[in-house]
């Protein structure tokens, strides 16, 4: 199965859908990989690096598209300057994996339908824990959050970190992040790292701990309402809640220097959270970075990919933040693709005639991101009930369980050891007393002998128990082989019976016993010696 990775020709796109590392992994999965010459240049991956990883470099884009069984891209397929539409250059029945945004790409979907394309959308990966490793949206959001802070710093006229200098005091920047998803948390981390005072607002109380774990403050409104909308997004809130939220924002607007908004509601325009009057409340020189610019923006005044200055406040609406960190973004995205292809089953699971994947529609992840299957629109996937998110109480329960199992489980070995020792002591005493009582009046020499032997036996057992308890567990194997060698003392029995005619059955049996017992003695002691020699401090 041949994977083709084209140059991303969108003017604002610097990423590429592969890294030399991912190429190696794809080849390991059984694919062959061809890459358009210069595809990685903007992400600092040279053709030579790709070739060294095992990819074929193709100079002619038409040839690349025509030969491809599977096209891996970042942006949705589009018209290429000086060429045709990317979909039109593919063979019928090929597979495309990229960001597709099926809800707003009707024209593209129709075009792919016509060519019997199978299309998987990286933006439709279900947000379940199993799919985290192929969640490209999270990978990109992480970059966007970091980059948003850097961008804000560029437009901000002061330090992020408060300073006391000989020339006077500089207050630290106050950064407010709205929406503590992946991007929001990354922004908090970056802002905190630069020394700013970071605070965050989110309608989902569940993210409070995550915000706090980044060292930031979690702002709350007085009304209690859970904004958890499933799939890692928030739902729309009640009017009363929104009123309280706006009041909080107006208060914050007077204080903060930087606002970073990241609120998205899937399939809908971004909610307007930072209104014009809030911008006007802010100090001149403040910066707003709106990460929702692509879907209309969270701020009233946002214009996508432009810097708007309103009463001294800069409002930025960048839509290409991940692309600005092209090398890392490409690396992470390429790794997400590798994980997806691994989940699908690598190059092995393919239909030999169509040269496409056999997609396992039972798999929630595969089903979720498949938009077109051989030209048939199957998106959106039927909604499965959300598995209950792992809640903190579960962890508490398991801790409680482990604690209680400690409580009622076996007592610690030491205690049980001494208990058994005591038991052994009393047993030995009991045997001795019993032997005395049984045989004290006996005059039979055999019985006398037996009583004496029992005494020796009981004492030896007692001594054995006493001695063995103190053996270090690390020495249990040598202990076993040494006791094994010692039990070869049965050789004495053999020697004692080796008498009379050497060819008599009794003597022969005794001789055999001597042989086996000595094997045991020799083997046991030597092997112990070998083992013990190895123990060193």
Partner 1 sequence: METFLNLAWVVAGILFISSLRGLANQETARRGNGYGVTGMILAIAAILLSGTAQHLGPLVGTLLVGALIGGTMAQRVAMTSMPEMVAILHSFVGLAAVLVGYAAYLDPPNGHGGIAYNIEIWLDVLIGAITFTGSIVAFLKLKGSLSGKPLLLPGRHALNLVVILVSLGLVVPFAGAEGSLGIPWLMIMTVLAGLQGVHLVAAIGGADMPVVVSMLNSYSGWTASAAGFMLGNNLLIITGALVGSSGAILSYIMCKAMNRSLVSVIFGGFGADPAPGSASAAPQQPQGEVVATDIAELADELRDAKEVIIVPGYGMAVARAQHAVRQLTDLLRSKGCNTRFAIHPVAGRLPGHMNVLLAEASVPYDIVLEMDEINQDFAKTDVVLIIGANDIVNPGAQTDASSPIYGMPVLEVWKSKRTVVLKRSRSSGYAGVDNPLFYLENNRMLFADAREGMEKLVAALQ
Span 386-445, contacts to partner 1 by CB under 8 A = 387, 398, 401-402, 405, 409-410, 412-413, 416, 420, 424
Q: What is the DSSP string of 430-479?
A: HHHHHHHHHHTT---HHHHHHHHHHHHHHHHHHHHHHHHTTS-GGGHHHH
Choosing from 91, 111, 127, 208, which is the catalytic residue? 127
Considering the complex, what minimum distance in angstroms separates the CB of residue 239 from partner 1?
Answer: 38
Give residues 456-475 in contact with partner 1 (rule: CB under 8 A).
456-457, 460-461, 463-465, 467-475
Interface mask (CB under 8 A) for partner 1, residues 351-390, using x and -? ------------------------------------x---
Catalytic residue at 79?
no
Catalytic residue at 233?
yes
- φ, ψ (nearest 5 deg) of residue 11: -60, -35
Considering the complex, what minimum distance in angstroms separates the CB of residue 365 from partner 1?
Answer: 10
Choosing from 32, 42, 116, 233, which is the catalytic residue? 233
Choosing from 60, 62, 104, 132, which is the catalytic residue? 132
The residue from 67, 275, 432, 479 that contacts partner 1 (CB under 8 A) is: 479
Give me the sheet containing 70-72, strands edge to edge.
56-58, 32-36, 2-5, 70-72, 95-98, 118-121, 370-373, 376-377
Longest alpha-carbon distance in the chain? 122
Catalytic residue at 135?
yes
Catalytic residue at 132?
yes
Residue 507, SS3? helix
Q: In the beta sheet, which residues pair with residue 69?
A: none
Per DSSP (E only), the strands in 37-132 are 56-58, 70-72, 95-98, 118-121
- Four-point Cα dihedral 277, 279, 284, 290, nearest 10: -170
Considering the complex, what minimum distance in angstroms separates the CB of residue 210 from partner 1?
Answer: 14
CB closer to partner 1 out of 375 and 523: 523
CB closer to partner 1 out of 129 and 213: 129
Catalytic residue at 436?
no
Considering the complex, what minimum distance in angstroms separates the CB of residue 18 from partner 1?
Answer: 18
306 near partner 1 (CB under 8 A) = no
Q: In the beta sheet, which residues pair with residue 228?
A: 234
> Chain-centre distance of CA 322, in angstroms?
21
The residue from 222, 352, 441, 535 that contacts partner 1 (CB under 8 A) is: 535
* Cβ neighbours of residue 74 closer than 8 Å, sequence gap 6 or more: 8, 13, 15, 16, 17, 98, 99, 330, 333
Considering the complex, what minimum distance in angstroms separates the CB of residue 413 from partner 1?
Answer: 6
Residue 190, SS3? helix
Considering the complex, what minimum distance in angstroms separates the CB of residue 436 from partner 1?
Answer: 18
Q: In the beta sheet, which residues pair with residue 260?
A: 177, 289
Site size toward partner 1, by CB under 8 A: 94
Taking CB under 8 A as the binding criterion, the range among 2-10, 271-279, 328-336, 454-462 that sits at the site for partner 1 is 454-462
CB closer to partner 1 out of 167 and 403: 403
CB closer to partner 1 out of 212 and 529: 529
* Cβ neighbours of residue 19 closer than 8 Å, sequence gap 6 or more: 40, 43, 45, 330, 331, 334, 335
CB closer to partner 1 out of 267 and 464: 464
- φ, ψ (nearest 5 deg) of residue 405: -70, -30
Interface mask (CB under 8 A) for partner 1, residues 102-141, using x and -? ---------------------------xx--x--------
Considering the complex, what minimum distance in angstroms separates the CB of residue 126 from partner 1?
Answer: 12
Cα 143 from Cα 138, distance rounded (Å): 9
Q: What is the DSSP string of 308-340?
A: EEETTEEEE--S-HHHHTHHHHHHHHHHHHHHH
Give residues 494-533 in contact with partner 1 (rule: CB under 8 A).
494-500, 502, 504-507, 509-533
Considering the complex, what minimum distance in angstroms separates the CB of residue 29 from partner 1?
Answer: 13
Give residues 236-265 in contact with partner 1 (rule: CB under 8 A).
none
Choosing from 19, 22, 105, 138, which is the catalytic residue? 138
Q: Residues with catalytic annotation?
A: 127, 132, 135, 138, 233
């Amino acid at each position: 199965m041949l994977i083709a990775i084209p140059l991303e020709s969108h003017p604002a796109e610097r990423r590429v859908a592969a890294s030399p590392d991912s190429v190696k992994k794809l080849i390991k999965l059984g694919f062959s990989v061809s890459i358009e010459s210069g595809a990685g240049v903007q992400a600092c991956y040279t053709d030579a690096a790709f070739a060294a990883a095992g990819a074929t470099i193709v100079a002619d884009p038409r040839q690349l598209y025509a030969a491809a069984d599977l096209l891996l891209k970042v942006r949705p397929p589009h018209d290429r300057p000086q060429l045709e539409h990317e979909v039109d250059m593919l063979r019928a029945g090929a597979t495309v994996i990229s960001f597709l945004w099926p809800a707003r790409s009707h024209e593209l979907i129709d075009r792919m339908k016509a060519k019997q394309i199978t299309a998987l959308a990286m933006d439709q990966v279900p947000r379940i824990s199993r799919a985290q490793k192929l969640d490209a949206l999270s990978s990109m959001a992480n970059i966007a959050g970091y980059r948003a802070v850097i961008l804000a710093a560029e437009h901000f006229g002061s330090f992020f970190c408060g300073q006391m200098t000989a020339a006077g005091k500089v207050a630290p920047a106050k950064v407010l992040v709205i929406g503590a998803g992946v991007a929001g948390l990354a922004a908090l981390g970056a802002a905190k790292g630069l020394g700013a005072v970071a605070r965050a607002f989110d309608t989902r109380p569940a993210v409070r701990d995550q915000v706090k774990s980044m060292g930031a403050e979690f702002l709350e409104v007085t009304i209690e309402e859970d904004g958890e909308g499933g799939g890692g997004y928030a739902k729309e809130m009640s009017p009363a809640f929104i009123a309280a939220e706006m009041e909080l924002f107006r208060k914050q607007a007077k204080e903060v220097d930087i606002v970073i908004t990241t609120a998205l509601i899937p399939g809908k325009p971004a909610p307007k959270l930072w209104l014009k009057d809030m911008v006007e409340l802010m100090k001149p020189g403040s910066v707003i970075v709106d990460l929702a610019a692509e879907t209309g923006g969270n701020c009233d005044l946002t214009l996508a990919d432009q810097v708007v200055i309103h009463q001294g406040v800069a409002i930025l609406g960048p839509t290409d933040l991940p692309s600005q960190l092209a090398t890392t973004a490409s690396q992470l995205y390429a790794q997400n693709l590798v994980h997806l292809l691994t989940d699908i089953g690598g190059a092995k699971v393919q239909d030999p005639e169509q040269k496409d994947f056999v997609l396992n529609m039972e798999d929630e992840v595969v089903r979720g991101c498949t938009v077109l299957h051989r030209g048939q629109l199957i998106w959106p996937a039927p909604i499965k009930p959300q598995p209950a998110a792992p809640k903190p109480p579960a962890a508490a329960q398991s801790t409680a369980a482990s604690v209680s199992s400690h409580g009622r489980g076996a007592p610690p070995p030491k205690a049980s050891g001494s208990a058994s020792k005591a038991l052994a002591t009393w047993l030995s005493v009991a045997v001795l007393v019993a032997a005395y009582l049984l045989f004290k009046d006996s005059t039979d020499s055999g019985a006398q002998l037996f009583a004496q032997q029992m005494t020796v036996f009981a004492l030896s057992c007692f001594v054995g128990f006493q001695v063995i308890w103190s053996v270090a567990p690390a020495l249990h194997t040598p202990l076993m082989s040494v006791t094994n060698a010692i039990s070869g003392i049965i050789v004495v029995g053999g020697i004692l019976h080796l008498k009379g005619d050497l060819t008599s059955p009794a003597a022969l049996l005794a001789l055999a016993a001597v042989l086996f017992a000595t094997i045991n003695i020799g083997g046991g002691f030597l092997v112990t010696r070998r083992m013990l020699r190895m123990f060193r401090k």
